[in-house]
Chain A
Amino acid sequence: MSYDVIIGLEVHVQLQTQTKIFCGCSTAFNPDHPNVQTCPVCLGLPGALPVLNRHGFQLAVKTALGLNCQIASFTKWDRKQYFYPDLPKGYQISQFDLPFSHDGHVDVETTSESGDKSIRRVRILRAHMEEDAGKNMHDESGRGRDSKVDLNRAGTPLVEIVTQPDLRSAEEARRFLEELKLLLTYLGVSDCNMQEGSLRCDANVNLHIHQPDGSRVATPIVEVKNLNSFRFTEQAILFEVQRQWDEFQRTGIKLGDKGGHKATRGYNPDRGETYILREKEEAADYRYFPDPDLVPVLVTETQLAAIRSEMCEPPAPRRERFHADYQLTPYDAAVIIDQGRLFADYFEAVAKTCGDGKQAANWITQDVLRETKQRDQSIAEFAIRPEVLGTLLGQINQKRITIKSAREVFGDLLTEFDETAAIPAASRIDEIVTTKGLAIVEDTGAIDAAITAVLGRNAKAVADFKEGNQKAIGALIGQVMREVKGADPQTVREKIIAAMQ
């Protein structure tokens, strides 16, 4: 018997606002100072009136547009009612039947076991806005009688992104989350900082088991809650797949059977196991109803056009364009894009200045990436600005300096920055080239004279070469290059061979 793994994700993303979704309290991550970012609105005190954060709503729309979602022209707010200590009002303000966006997709490139690449289109069912809850601190010893609650986070604006069950492996789920994070950070709607809880994931997992008669049966769906890293998400799904397979073989229980209802589980990363949180005998009864404190939001085509015009190019079409505009391989395009928007902007500026995308990609994916990693710098902090690197690479293209000389100048510029902390200007390139005599010498007379002199001094090497020892030429080229600084080694090589014959 074989099976398909069926995975759908619910991802909560914190939007990058200054203030909470319905009040003016700061959203700063501040776990060392609990309960200092609250007010009557986010504490749920009687008589307080929530008012929507305009910027937060715009970021949410931007998020949904990035997910290729339809934006509803009319959306409203609902109360989702349940009791938990981190939820001061006894309900969460969310969106039920009229979410602000629906029906989108994200394309994820996946690699099969045989190494074939393919695109998995993950459909987005809906994306809606809601407020975050506070944070509970459980007594780790298990003996204490109290849990502590910090409500700084209560009321932070979230977008909940719900996918269709289109993912087919733990690895695909991780790849989807990576692509989602890249998209959201590109759009600048969220920092997606998982340590601070800005991106959290629930995974719905079950198996469709192929029966000998060709039919398929589904195992009970398990929702693994609160996965706060991509690695844990992948591990939790892998564990669930094995657990559900083992359980089905042992019990034969199918989705919908007695004992086969949807269950909620947590993930313990230390043990690498999921554990049961609760079994949903009956569907949770949240008794949603429209929040009378909040009025609907209407989104016009004009407003949508304005938000679209502010949006940068998302990563997926940008990869395509880098391939088309700069002749980059899909691999190089992905390496550059996946480093983030500022890195890709840096590449484009260099490519435009030097007029050679391939050359720019080589330098940026090797030299620049290596130096920034070694220095633990972001691309914005990197001393060699794109105009400077573009000018340097342009000199290679114009055959004014060799690639080797360009590397020397690149190194010198970085050394100078380390010593003076001054960002080098493009004019420094010509100064270094002149001082060190790195300019390619076009004066063939000088090269010819040097070759004649060097060959005269090296009768043995000339004889060796004539007897077929190709290596002998290396020393001769080196000597000529020392006499004529900046000579193009390829030209020198050709001229030496011609002279000897």
Chain B
Amino acid sequence: MHLTSEHVRKVAALARLRVSDAEVESLLGDLTSILEYVDVLNEVDTTGVQPMVHAVELHDVMRDDMIVASLPRADALKNAPRTDGTYFLVPTIIDEG
């Protein structure tokens, strides 16, 4: 497919990344070359081949429903940018319309 700067802006917006016009141009070049590289796969004839859903052949890997000790709260919160010692703190979520 032919990538445009609109595609780049959209992907950046979905990833919550702010990109300047200059960055859009350079990202457009990078992403286009990545897609061209992957395009090689289109040369393979996949007629009649089942789509692959996973890179490993394993299936049905499961665990028993047994409680394992959770992290102490202090450890759970340790990497958060901001906490009040009990909760994770985030900028106010505007929900009510």
Q: Which chain A residues have a beta carbon within 8 Å of chain B's beta carbons?
A: 17-19, 23-26, 34-40, 43, 45, 51-57, 76, 81, 83, 85, 98, 136-139, 144-151, 265-266, 268, 275-277, 285, 287, 290, 292, 294-298
B55 contacts the other chain (Cβ, under 8 Å)?
A: yes
User: How many A-B residue pairs lie within 8 Å, measured between CB atoms?
Assistant: 137
8 Å CB contact of A147 from B60, B64, B70, B92: B92
Residues of A with C-beta under 8 A to B77: 35
A-chain residues with CB within 8 Å of residue B93 when the two chains form the complex? 85, 136, 138, 147
Contact status B90-A23, CB under 8 Å: no
- Are B96's CB and A275's CB within 8 A? yes
- Which residues of B, 1-53, contact A by the 8 Å Cβ criterion? 10, 14, 16, 53
A8 to B71, CA, bound (A): 40
B53 to chain A, nearest CB (A): 5
Contact of B55 among A25, A34, A292 (CB under 8 A): A292
Separation of A258 and B52 alpha carbons in the complex (Å): 40
In the bound complex, do residue B68 and residue A23 qualify as a contact, i.e. CB atoms below 8 Å apart? yes
Q: Interface readout for B54-87 with A: 1 if CB under 8 Å, 0 if not?
A: 1110111111111110111100110100101011
Report B's interface with A, CB cutoff 8 A.
10, 14, 16, 53-56, 58-68, 70-73, 76-77, 79, 82, 84, 86-93, 95-97
Also in contact, A52 and B95, with CB within 8 A (given A34-B86, A76-B54): no
- Known contacts: A19-B67, A23-B68, A292-B54. The answer to whether A51 contacts B92 by CB under 8 A is no
B68: which of A25, A147, A149, A151 is its contact (CB, 8 Å)? A25
Chain B residues whose CB sits within 8 angstroms of the CB of A276 once the complex forms: 97
- The 7 A-B pairs of least Cβ separation, nearest first, read A24-B68, A148-B87, A55-B65, A54-B62, A149-B88, A85-B90, A275-B97
CA distance A147 to B95 in the complex (A): 11
Chain A, Cβ-Cβ closest to B72: A36
CA distance A54 to B63 in the complex (A): 6
Cβ-closest chain B residue relative to A300:
B60
CA distance A485 to B64 in the complex (A): 63
**With known contacts A151-B76, A295-B60, A298-B59, A146–B66 Cβ distance under 8 A:** no
Would A145 and B92 be within 8 Å (CB), given that A35-B86, A35-B87 are in contact?
Answer: yes
Q: B67 contacts A18, CB within 8 Å?
A: yes
Q: B70 touching A39 by the CB < 8 A rule?
A: yes
Contacts of A138 in B (CB 8 A): 92-93, 95-96
Known pairs A76-B53, A266-B97; A295 contacts B59 (CB<8 A): yes
